[in-house]
Structure formats: structure tokens, C-alpha cells
Amino acid sequence: MREVHGNTVNRESKESWTSFVARAASETLDYLDSFNPADIVEQGKLYFNVVWVSEAQYAELSPS
């Protein structure tokens, strides 16, 4: 059985890009710091995929 764990940070309404990036970085670091490998059932290597996009790219992903 494979396990997938994730963390998503969504931009708040009217939140500036700078504030969103700072909050997303902080929340992601908190998530990674709190991640406990002992809680994982399947043994093996752990990989984390942290994704970055620009404000313009984010706007293309977000519904209007």
C-alpha cells in the first residue's frame, strides 16, 4: 500500500502575493517539521515535492 501525504496552502481573498508567499512558505515548513516518519505504514525512502509558481502562473491555475 502506497501512502500519499499532502499540504495545500490556498491564497486568501484579497491577500497580496507577497503575504501569500510568506504564509505558504511558513505553513509548508511547519508541515515538514511536524511530519513524523514513524507514522508511515510503508517503509522506504521519503520524497517531498514542493512546487513553486509565479503570480502570473498562479493566476492561470486559479478560477476567476
pLDDT band for position 38 (50/70/90)? confident
> Is the pLDDT at 63 greater than 70, yes or no?
no
pTM of the model: 0.76
Q: Rounded to an integer, what distance in angstroms lies between the CA atom of residue 15 and that of residue 31?
A: 21
Q: Kindly report the average pLDDT of the chain as a whole number.
A: 86
Q: Rounded to an integer, what distance in angstroms lies between the CA atom of residue 7 and that of residue 27?
A: 9
**Which residue ranges make up each domain of the chain?**
17-61
